[in-house]
Structure 1
Amino acid sequence: MPKRGYHHGNLRQALVEAALVLIEQKGPNGWTLSEAAKNAGVTPAAVYRHFEGREDLIAEGARQGHEIFADLMTFAFNEGKPSALAAFEATGRAYLAFARKYPGHYMAMFESGLSANETHELAAAAAKSREVLERAAEALSEHIPPEKRPPPSMFSAHIWALSHGVVELFARGRPGGNAPFPPEDLLESGIGIYLRGLGLIAPDQ
C-alpha cells in the first residue's frame, strides 16, 4: 500500500481503528506506532500530527469505547424497565455484549494499564458509563429507608467487578472459558445472590 503521509482524509480515526485491530490481535501493549501507521497506510511521522505517542492513541480508543459503552448501558437500562431489577440486570448483560462485540475497545479501556484519568476526555467518557450503573443502583434501592440504604456507588462498583470477572473468565475465550453455564446465566445468578444479601430484592425475586 502506498504511503499517504498526512494527506489522509481522516487520518486520526484511521489510526484509532488500526490500533484497535492491533490491540485485539496482540493485546494493548504488543504493537508499535509504526505498525499502526503501516496499517493505516501512512508514514510513522504522520502519527505525531494527531497523537503524542502510543498511550495517547490507546487513550483515544478507550475514550471512544466508553462512549459506545455508555450508550449501550443507557439503552439497556431504559429497555429493562419497568422493573428496577430487570433494568439493573440488563446493564450487566450489556457489559457482556460490549466485551464480545468491541474487544479492541474493551481491552483499551480495561486492560491497557492506562488510568481513566489519562486525559480529560477519557475521564468524562468513563464517568458516563459509571453513572448509568449508579442510576440503576439508585432505582433498585429506592424502597429502602435512606439510613439503611447502601451507597449506590458501592454496590454498583461490586456489580461492575462481578461483570468484569465473568467477562474475563468465561466470555472472551480466556482460561475457564468452558464454564458449565452461559456467562449471562452466571452473571444473572451472581447479581441475584449479591442483591439478596444486601436486602435489595426479596428472596423469591
Structure 2
Amino acid sequence: MPKRGYHHGNLRQALVEAALSLIEAKGPTGFTLSEAAKTAGVTPAAVYRHFEGREDLIAEAARQGYEIFADLMQFAFDKGQPSALASFEATGRAYLAFARKYPGHYIAMFESGISVNRTPELAAVATRARGVMEHAAAELSKHIPPEKRPPASMFSAHVWAMSHGVVELYARNSPGTQSPFAPEDLLESGIGVYLRGLGLIDADK
C-alpha cells in the first residue's frame, strides 16, 4: 500500500501548505521539518527532495506570499484609478486585508527572519510588491512641487511602516494592545494626517 501523502499531485506545494498551517499555529521557528512532513502526510525524507531545510521551506512560503501580496496591491491600485489619492489609500488598506486573510504568509514574509534576498525569485517578487506602492506614491506626489517632493521610495516606506505598525499592534490580537478604534480607522486617519502634512489633502477633510 503506498504511503499516505503520495497521492498529492504536487508534494512541494503540499509541504508549503503544511508549513503555513504550522507557522500560524506555532510561529516560524516553532516547528520542525518532520512536523511539516507529518502534516503533509509524507515521510521526513520526502521533504529533502524539495527543500534543503526549514528555512528554504519558509522562504518558499514567503515567496508565494509576496506573489499574492503584489497581486492584491496591484488590484487595489487599479481599482482606485483614475484618482491617485484613492489608489494610494487603497494600497494601504490592501496591506491590512492581506495580513488578515493570509496570516501564515504574512508571518513567513515579515516575521521569520528570512531575507528577501535569500533567493533571486523571492527578491524579484518582493521588489514587485514594493514597486506597486512606490508607483502609487509617485503618482500622488506629482501634486507636490518638485522642490518639496519626497522621494517616492521614502513616501511609500512611511505608509508601509504605518500599515505594518497597525497590523502588528492592533490587527493580530496581540495581548494588551487593544485599541478603541478599528484598525482600518487607525490606518485611514494616520494616512490622512500624513497626507495633510504634505499638503495633498485639505486640512478639513
Q: TM-score, normalised by structure 2?
A: 0.94
**What is the number of residues matched between the two proteins?**
204
| Alpha-carbon distance, 1:7 to partner | 6.9
| Alpha-carbon distance, 1:143 to partner | 1.8
Name the structure 2 match of 1:192: 192
Deviations 1:97-147 (A, max 9, x none): 100100000000000011111111110111111001001101111122323
Residue type of the partner of 1:52? E
Name the structure 2 match of 1:69: 69
Identical-residue share of aligned pairs (%): 80
Q: Contact 1:66/1:125 (CA < 8 Å) preserved in 2?
A: yes
Q: Distance in 1 between matches of 2:82 and 2:8?
A: 48
My pick for the range that moved more, 136-145 or 36-45, is 136-145
| Alpha-carbon distance, 1:48 to partner | 0.7
Deviations 1:138-195 (A, max 9, x none): 1111122323211010010010000000001111111354211111110010011112
Secondary structure of residue in 2 paired with 1:160 = helix
Q: Does 1:148 align with 2:144?
A: no
Q: Distance in 2 between matches of 1:6 and 1:80?
A: 44
Name the structure 1 match of 2:96: 96
Q: Distance in 2 between matches of 1:177 and 1:89?
A: 24
- Trace 1:107-126 onto structure 2 (pairs within 5 A): 107-126=107-126
Residue type of the partner of 1:94? A
Deviations 1:34-68 (A, max 9, x none): 00000111110110110111000000000000000
Residue type of the partner of 1:169? L
| Alpha-carbon distance, 1:5 to partner | 7.2
Q: Contact 2:87/2:136 (CA < 8 Å) preserved in 1?
A: yes
Secondary structure of residue in 1 paired with 2:154 = helix
- Unaligned 5+ runs, structure 1: none
Secondary structure of residue in 2 paired with 1:82 = coil
Q: Contact 2:5/2:40 (CA < 8 Å) preserved in 1?
A: no
Q: TM-score, normalised by structure 1?
A: 0.94
- Trace 1:1-205 onto structure 2 (pairs within 5 A): 3-4=3-4, 8-205=8-205
